[in-house]
Amino acid sequence: MNLPASPFHDTPLATFARRLRSGEASALGATRNLLRRIETLDAKLHAYTFVDAERALARAAALDQLLTAGVDLGPLMGVPIAVKDLFSVDGMPTTAGSDVDISDLVPPQGRFVDQLQRAGCVILGKTATTEFALGGFNLRRPPPWNPCDLGVPRMTGGSSHGSAVAMAAGLCAFSFGSDTGGSVRWPAALCGVVGYKSTTDHWPQDGIFPLSRAMDSIGVFTSCVADLRVVHAALAGVSVAEAPLPSQLVLALPGAHFFQNIEPEVEACFTRAVELLRDAGVAIREVALPEAAEIEEVFGRLVTAEWLAFVGRDRFLANESIIDPVVAARVRGGLELRADQYVRLASRQQALTTLIGERAEGIDGWLSPTVVKLPAPCTDFRGVDDVAAWNRVTTQNTRPANLFGQCGISLPMQHLGARWPAGLQLCAAPSHDRRLLAVAATIEAIIGRAAALAG
């Protein structure tokens, strides 16, 4: 296949930025390259649901002209990116992955996408999401093809799987998703890329179709932590924090819940990662986190109740026949939740956020496998019960961070002993996002980086 390598393959964003300003690279050239890759590869991968090629090329050309004229918008200027099909972007459709008519619910473009555009990003298009971001797999709409195995379709995780696949396959420089119960960290782990979930209120979420106002958060997929730190610093308007020395770090192992159902290869990778961190001088403590067991009762019921409150009970019942059966089954479980039960659950979620925040004093983060399973063949999952069981097990380690209000990140660790992608998760106290990314840089330097899946 005569296909050019992505200009961002093994090329950090900071290096592209230097090349752009020296004239060695151009926004238009990078955009053309990625659009060609999308045209060639996405017929199989299905990472994108909408590609805005004409406007992306026009914007890239305009950004090159601005830079020539001496107008520099910062380190993300001219960088082609992708956003999940929950983010409203003027001139692009938003479907939330559904055939249900939600046109009256789609918000106008919000402040976060405004910020991306002011930073000079080129938005290539929208990426696939599971229907309404409820879970990781739809029976009626199979997930994108996981590029870790081009011969067998494997689970990608969800719901931001289109953004993860686009990143893994070199179809963008970086991409955005949303994370309510692991929807960035989960597919990042199974697709072999870096995935960061911000604290819920870290970035503005107007302009994004919601799942749970209490636990939604914006997330970013990149190929390495260095790129993630550039993106975060540029959008937050801060400098890149200095990475701490290993001897300055204290990490916690959160207990039995996070190691239930674990596959041997994932456990082997995680054990090796912990050994490397300890050998480098990182202090690692075992700290119980029994509240993680509340994810089914509190998290599960809150999410469906808040989705129903936004979309509407009547709309759901009128359209249930065209909604994916996995999604419909999950939503039906929330139809009978009473108002007093909802208030108690919401209060418990707030109390847990406070409690876990206090318990994080003196700890730089909680360390665990991101997902306890490797990406299984999609053909193993033929019915609602199969998919529901997979979703529960593979989000057992990601959902607690949303329940506790934490920020979190997944780093690839399959190079430490697995056949298929596996992720190392680090979660930190709410609003410690900048510190989290600095700590992640130190961890990545210690455990090493997995080879990129695609050129």
Catalytic residue among 6, 26, 98, 159: 159
pLDDT of residue 244: 98
Tokens of 257: 């819940």
Helix (H, G, I), strand (E, B) or coil at 353: helix
pLDDT of residue 76: 98
Which residue type, as a one-letter code, is found at position 228? Answer: L
Strands (E), 36-150: 48-51, 80-84, 122-127
Q: Which residues touch 159 (CB under 8 Å, ≥6 apart)?
A: 97, 129, 130, 133, 134, 135, 136, 177, 178, 180, 183
Average pLDDT, the chain: 96
With tokens 């990490």, the residue in question is 251
Return d(Cα 285, Cα 397) in angstroms, integer. Answer: 18
Compute the average pLDDT of residues 174-194.
98
Compute the average pLDDT of residues 183-206.
98
Confidence category of residue 454, pLDDT binned at 50, 70, 90: low
pLDDT of residue 255: 87
Return d(Cα 432, Cα 16) in angstroms, integer. Answer: 28
Burial (0-12, 13-18, 19+ Cβ within 10 Å), 182:
buried
The answer, as to whether pTM is greater than 0.95, is: yes
pLDDT of residue 83: 99
Confidence category of residue 1, pLDDT binned at 50, 70, 90: low
Return d(Cα 326, Cα 343) in angstroms, integer. Answer: 26
Catalytic residue among 175, 183, 223, 368: 183
Active site residue 22: no
Q: How many CB atoms lie within 10 A of CB 341?
A: 12
Q: Is the pLDDT of residue 380 over 90?
A: yes
Helix (H, G, I), strand (E, B) or coil at 96: coil
Q: How many CB atoms lie within 10 A of CB 354?
A: 12
Best CA proximity match to 30, nearest among 145, 137, 109, 124? 124
pLDDT of residue 237: 87
Q: Is the pLDDT of residue 52 over 90?
A: yes
DSSP helix, strand, coil percent of the chain (3-state; round to 5): 45, 15, 45
Active site residue 159: yes
Return d(Cα 306, Cα 337) in angstroms, integer. Answer: 11
pLDDT of residue 414: 97
Q: How many CB atoms lie within 10 A of CB 116?
A: 22
Best CA proximity match to 163, nearest among 209, 206, 196, 138? 196
Compute the average pLDDT of residues 149-165.
97
Active site residue 84: yes
Return d(Cα 429, Cα 444) in angstroms, integer. Answer: 20
Compute the average pLDDT of residues 78-106.
98
Compute the average pLDDT of residues 351-380.
95
The residues pairing with 408 across neighbouring beta strands, listed in sequence order, are 197, 427
Return d(Cα 260, Cα 256) in angstroms, integer. Answer: 7
Which is more confidently placed, 256 or 198?
Answer: 198
Catalytic residue among 6, 26, 84, 88: 84
Confidence category of residue 452, pLDDT binned at 50, 70, 90: confident
Q: What is the pLDDT of residues 21-30, one digit of tens each?
A: 999 999 999 9
Return d(Cα 195, Cα 179) in angstroms, integer. Answer: 10
Compute the average pLDDT of residues 89-118.
98
Q: Which CATH class is domain 13-288+351-447?
A: alpha beta
Q: Is the pLDDT of residue 81 over 70?
A: yes
Tokens of 201: 């209120």
Return d(Cα 266, Cα 422) in angstroms, integer. Answer: 6
Q: What is the pLDDT of residues 111-143, one digit of tens each?
A: 999 999 999 999 999 999 999 999 999 999 989
Confidence category of residue 4, pLDDT binned at 50, 70, 90: confident
Best CA proximity match to 436, nearest among 219, 244, 170, 238? 244
Best CA proximity match to 424, nearest among 355, 382, 365, 369? 369
Compute the average pLDDT of residues 411-435.
97
Q: What percent of the chain has pLDDT over 70?
A: 99
Helix (H, G, I), strand (E, B) or coil at 420: coil
pLDDT of residue 288: 87
